């Protein structure tokens, strides 16, 4: 009894504290919630951009060659009698003495139904045009090109067509240096179609046009101080194309090392399933020095600056060779549509920059203003100018040459002396 009396009372058990969720788990759930909101918002942003702006995530980096590319390359290697063939220096050229779909080339790979002597005949004004498919006058037969129509308007004019489909002004410049100057033209027309700005930063055409059947490599110029430096064609010979066919996963990164689209456009990745990743690529493509901004060229883009410097170098070279250079700007259908709606053409900033640099520039929008004031042409579906468009270009160019005092050999010689005396002409 005494032991029971002396025993200490057992303390009452403390109530159990409620278990708290680990702090880390709470933050993890919160992070997942935020991530979900980001992905949902990104998905909505992608939908809105596609729905209202026509801007979508279109991966441009090739991981391999599609069937169209392989068929094209295999055709080149088989040396089929194509109208255009690969070229070590220029990427590709019109083949000499070809006749295909109304396109005929002479022995010097000039689009023409006759040959031209190295020197122009006495008293004949020789013009030579360099550029892309608009210079080439694709989609019409030889007699309907603006070059042939210009010759028909004045028998004292020779108009040599060095245009090549798909060319950029960089390739046109290189072709002039290699082949054009030996024909001693009095006037050199440097063709620039408004979409060309995208070609000067491209080294493999499918990087620019993923579904293109022209699976050719090409040279390009890169910015170098205040000028440009040449990056040679990364696919200069048949062996290079064979390596491409055999191991595209290894060869494509090499070919794309200097290609704007390969390096900067949307790239396929294992995280493409995330809307946020796709949206980030779209926004980078759109806002990290895009080639276009607000419907016109972006003067801060690499493509704009390369275009300006290449055309200016071309112009100065022609002048140094003793010919009068003229930059001829070809509007495409979207520019004609903008004109009909009272908007500036996409190339407006670059045309302004040409003139500010003192380059004699002919904007062919004037031809459509003069001969198509009702904007009838824009209602038609076309890529290159139809026959009437070529006729308008020829008439407008003939009038412009007369207005500028460039319609005869004597006038051109006087103009050449004046041009070469200008500051910065390189003379």
Tokens of 332: 């495409």
- Cβ(129)–Cβ(160) below 8 Å: yes
- Give all domains of the chain, ordered by start, each with its CATH number: 68-420 (3.40.50.1110)
Question: Length of the chain in residues, anyone?
Answer: 427
- Cβ(124)–Cβ(158) below 8 Å: yes
Give the pLDDT confidence score for residue 233 in this predicted structure: 98
- Cβ(39)–Cβ(274) below 8 Å: yes
The tens place of each residue's pLDDT in the chain, 427 residues long, gives 455 555 555 555 556 555 555 788 888 888 888 888 898 898 898 888 777 766 677 665 556 788 888 988 998 888 778 899 999 999 999 999 999 889 999 999 999 999 999 999 999 999 999 999 999 999 999 999 999 999 999 999 999 999 999 999 999 999 999 999 999 999 999 999 999 999 999 999 998 888 777 899 999 999 999 999 999 999 999 999 999 999 998 999 999 999 998 887 656 667 777 888 877 777 665 555 688 888 999 999 999 999 999 999 999 999 999 999 999 999 999 999 999 999 999 999 999 999 999 999 999 999 999 999 999 999 999 999 999 999 999 999 999 999 999 999 999 999 888 776 766 554 4
CA distance 395 to 89: 35
Closest CA to 241 of 79, 94, 67, 70: 70
Cα angle vertex 14, ends 13, 16, to 5°?
120
Give the pLDDT confidence score for residue 275 in this predicted structure: 84
Give the pLDDT confidence score for residue 415 in this predicted structure: 85
Statement: the pTM of the whole predicted model exceeds 0.85? no
Give the pLDDT confidence score for residue 421 in this predicted structure: 72
Closest CA to 360 of 216, 193, 190, 241: 190
């Amino acid at each position: 009894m005494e032991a029971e009396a002396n025993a200490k009372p057992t303390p009452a058990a403390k109530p159990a504290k409620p278990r708290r969720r680990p702090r880390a788990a709470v933050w993890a759930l919160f992070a997942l919630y935020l991530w979900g909101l980001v992905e949902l918002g990104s998905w909505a942003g992608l939908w809105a951009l596609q729905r209202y702006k026509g801007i979508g995530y279109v991966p441009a980096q090739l991981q391999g060659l599609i069937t169209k590319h392989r068929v094209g390359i295999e055709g080149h290697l088989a040396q089929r009698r194509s109208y255009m063939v690969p070229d070590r220096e220029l990427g590709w050229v019109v083949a000499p003495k070809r006749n295909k779909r109304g396109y005929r080339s002479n022995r010097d790979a000039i689009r023409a139904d006759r040959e031209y002597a190295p020197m122009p005949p006495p008293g004949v004004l020789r013009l030579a045009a360099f550029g892309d498919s608009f210079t080439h006058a694709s989609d019409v037969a030889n007699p309907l090109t603006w070059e042939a129509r210009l010759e028909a308007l004045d028998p004292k004019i020779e108009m040599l067509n060095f245009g090549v489909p798909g060319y950029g002004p960089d390739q046109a410049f290189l072709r002039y240096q290699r082949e054009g100057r030996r024909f001693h033209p009095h006037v050199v027309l440097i063709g620039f179609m408004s979409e060309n700005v995208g070609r000067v930063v491209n080294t493999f055409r499918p990087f620019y046009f993923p579904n293109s059947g022209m699976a050719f490599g090409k040279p390009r110029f890169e910015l170098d101080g205040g000028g440009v430096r040449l990056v040679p064609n990364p696919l200069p010979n048949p062996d290079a194309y064979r390596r491409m066919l055999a191991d595209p996963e290894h060869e494509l990164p090499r070919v794309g090392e200097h290609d704007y689209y390969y390096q900067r456009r949307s790239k396929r990745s294992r995280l493409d399933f995330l809307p946020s990743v796709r949206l980030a690529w779209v926004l980078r493509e759109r806002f990290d020095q895009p080639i276009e901004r607000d419907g016109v060229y972006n003067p801060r883009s690499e493509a704009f600056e390369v275009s300006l410097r290449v055309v200016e170098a071309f112009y100065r070279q022609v002048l140094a060779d003793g010919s009068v250079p003229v930059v001829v700007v070809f509007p495409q259908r979207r520019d004609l549509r903008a004109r009909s709606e009272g908007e500036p053409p996409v190339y407006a900033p670059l045309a302004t920059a040409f003139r500010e640099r003192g380059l004699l520039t002919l904007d062919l929008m004037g031809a459509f203003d003069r001969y198509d004031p009702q904007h009838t042409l824009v209602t038609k579906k076309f890529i290159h100018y139809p026959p009437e468009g070529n006729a308008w270009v020829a008439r407008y160019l003939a009038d412009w040459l007369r207005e500028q005092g460039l319609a005869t050999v004597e006038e051109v010689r006087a103009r050449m002396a004046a041009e070469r005396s200008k500051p910065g002409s390189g003379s």
